[in-house]
Amino acid sequence: MRRHMINQLNLKERQWLLKAIIKMVLADTPIVKEEIEELKESILLYAGKEVKNFKEFLSRPEIRLPLRPLSNASYDDAFNILIELARIAAIDCRFVEEEEALLKEILSLLDFDDKAIEKVVNWTKRLAVINEEEQKLKQELKAHFQGIQQQVLVTKS
């Protein structure tokens, strides 16, 4: 899905989204492993495989410039961009004030009105909770799964 969505964006939109992703990842601290992996994957997907030094890429002056309105984006592209950014904001199971403020700013730059922005913010908050529940479920199931595997190994011995 993600690669398909990226392929639908034009070069200007891809560059804009990459910059927004970088800002979203850096909006809260500490930056967790999932965010770092997401950032690296995004850089490779949006900027290309020729990027070898991520720190150097992130220190480029154009990356630090503020985002400007993304004009002429279709609704579908703007929607895909907002979903991508909301997903990244919630990836660490938290949605902090800095991420919320940035998401609101970005959505206004995508030309969404205040009512739509609030809906996306509320959805992103729920997404962070769901991500946290998923992580807890993953740990619970891992313990259960390992127990079953051990029983099978003991039975075969």
Query: pLDDT tens for residues 26-49?
Result: 888 888 888 888 888 887 777 766
Cα separation, 57 vs 24, in Å, equals 16
Give the mean model confidence (pLDDT) for residues 117-122: 97
Q: Answer whether 111's CB lies under 8 Å from 75's CB.
A: no
Describe the crossing of helices 11-26 and 33-47 by its angle, rounded to 10 degrees: 160
Q: Which two tokens stand for residue 137?
A: 């479920």
* pLDDT reported for residue 64: 80
**Dihedral over alpha carbons 145, 148, 152, 153 (to 10 degrees):** 70
133-139 long-range CB contacts below 8 Å, 24 or more apart? Answer: 135/93
Per-residue pLDDT at 75 exceeds 90: yes
Range with top average pLDDT, 2-6, 7-11, 49-53, 79-83? 79-83
The pLDDT of residue 156 is: 59
Average pLDDT score over residue span 54-79: 86
What's the pLDDT at 39? 82
- What is residue 63's predicted lDDT score, i.e. its pLDDT? 79
